[in-house]
């Protein structure tokens, strides 16, 4: 079962639980549990999309970040 399917199923459960006649305290714990599960699955989905974005295709991860410097930073006269 994919993560997307789990989000769909838990979304349906979250919509149906208030109408099932479940005792109030159980309903609160059920809704809280489903909410926590949805948060975790959402985090995993976003993380996987982020890691796919960083993947270079050869098994390495990286991005195009760089720091531009000037020669003045490496001149000994500038440090004194």
Q: Which residue has the higher pLDDT, 21 or 80?
A: 21
Q: Which domain holds residue 69?
A: 1-80
Looking at residue 40, its pLDDT comes to 94
Report the predicted TM-score, pTM, of the whole model to 2 decimal places: 0.66
Taking only the tens place, the pLDDT of each residue in 23-79 is 999 999 999 999 999 999 999 999 988 888 877 777 676 766 666 666 665 556 555
Looking at residue 69, its pLDDT comes to 65
- Structurally, how many domains does the chain consist of? 1
Q: What secondary structure does DSSP assign to 25-51, as a single string?
A: HHHHHHHHHHHHHHHHHHHHHHHHHHH
């Amino acid at each position: 079962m994919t993560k997307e399917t789990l989000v769909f199923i838990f979304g349906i459960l979250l919509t149906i639980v208030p109408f099932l006649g479940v005792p109030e305290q159980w309903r609160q714990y059920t809704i809280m549990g489903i909410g926590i599960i949805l948060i975790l699955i959402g985090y995993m989905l976003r993380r996987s999309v982020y890691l796919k974005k960083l993947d270079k295709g050869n098994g390495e991860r990286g991005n195009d970040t760089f720091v531009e410097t000037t020669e003045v930073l490496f001149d000994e006269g500038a440090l004194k």
